[in-house]
Structure 1
Amino acid sequence: MSGRGVWRRARERLRRFPAALSGCGAEATAYGRCVASAAAGTAELRRDACLEEFWALRDCFARQVKATVK
Structure 2
Amino acid sequence: MSGSNVWHRSREKLRRFPEFFAQCAEEAAAYGKCVAATTVSKQELKKDHCAKEFAALKTCFSNAAKKNCK
TM-score range with shorter-chain normalisation? 0.7 to 0.9
Q: Residues of 1 paired with 2:50 and 2:27: CA distance?
A: 12
Percent identity between the two aligned chains: 49
Which contiguous aligned blocks of 4+ residues in structure 1 show a shift greater than 4 angstroms?
Answer: none
Pick closer, same or farther for the CA change 1:44–1:20 going to 2, 3 Å. same
| Unpaired segments ≥5 residues, structure 2 | none
| Unpaired segments ≥5 residues, structure 1 | none
- Count of aligned pairs: 70
- Verify: 1:16 aligned to 2:13, yes or no: no
Give TM-score scaled by structure 2 length: 0.84
Q: Which has the higher helix share?
A: 2
Give TM-score scaled by structure 1 length: 0.84
